Amino acid sequence: MKLAVDSTVELLNGVEMPRLGLGVWRTPAGEDTERAVRAALAAGYRSIDTASLYGNEADVGRAIRSSGIPREQIFVTTKVWNTEQGYDRTLEAFENSLSRLGLDYVDLYLVHWPVKDKYKETYRALETLYEMGKVRAIGVSNFHIHHLEDLMGSCKIKPMVNQVELHPQLTQKPLLAFCNREGIQVESWRPLMQGRLDSPLLKELADKYGKTPAQIVIRWHLQLGLVTIPKSVRAERIAENADVFDFRLSHEDMLRIDGMNEDKRYGQDPDHFVF
- pLDDT beyond 50 at 1: no
- pLDDT beyond 60 at 81: yes
Whole-prediction pTM value?
A: 0.96
Comparing 271 with 3, the larger pLDDT belongs to: 271
Q: Tell whether 200 is covered by a domain.
A: yes
**Catalytic annotation, pick one of 45, 54, 119, 130:** 54
For the question of residue 123 being annotated catalytic, the response is no
Residues 149-165 have a mean pLDDT of 98
DSSP 7-38: -EEE-TTS-EEESB-EE-TTPPTTHHHHHHHH
Q: Tell whether 275 is covered by a domain.
A: no
Share of the chain above pLDDT 70, in %: 99
Share of the chain above pLDDT 90, in %: 96
Provide the b/e sequence for 187-204 (b: ≥16 CB within 10 Å): bbbbbbbeeebebeebee
Confidence label for 161 from pLDDT (cuts 50, 70 and 90): very high
Residues 220-246 have a mean pLDDT of 97
Q: Tell whether 75 is covered by a domain.
A: yes
Q: Tell whether 274 is covered by a domain.
A: no
Q: Rounded mean pLDDT of the chain?
A: 96
Alpha-helical (H) ranges within 114-249 are 119-131, 145-152, 173-182, 200-209, 213-223, 235-242
Domain with 242 in it: 8-265
Q: Tell whether 81 is covered by a domain.
A: yes
The enclosing domain of 19 has a CATH number of: 3.20.20.100
pLDDT in tens, 85-114: 999 999 999 999 999 999 999 999 999 999
Q: Tell whether 229 is covered by a domain.
A: yes
Confidence label for 2 from pLDDT (cuts 50, 70 and 90): low
Q: Are 161 and 261 in contact (CB under 8 A)?
A: no
Q: Tell whether 1 is covered by a domain.
A: no
Residue 259 exposed, middle or buried by CB count within 10 Å (0-12, 13-18, 19+): exposed
Predicted local distance difference test score (pLDDT) of residue 33: 97
Confidence label for 275 from pLDDT (cuts 50, 70 and 90): low
Q: How many domains does the chain contain in total?
A: 1
Residues 231-257 have a mean pLDDT of 97
Predicted local distance difference test score (pLDDT) of residue 139: 98
pLDDT in tens, 10-43: 999 999 999 999 999 999 999 999 999 999 999 9
pLDDT in tens, 188-222: 999 999 999 999 999 999 999 999 999 999 999 99
Query: How much helix, strand and coil, in percent to the nearest 5, is found in the chain?
Result: 45, 15, 40
Residues 49-71 have a mean pLDDT of 97
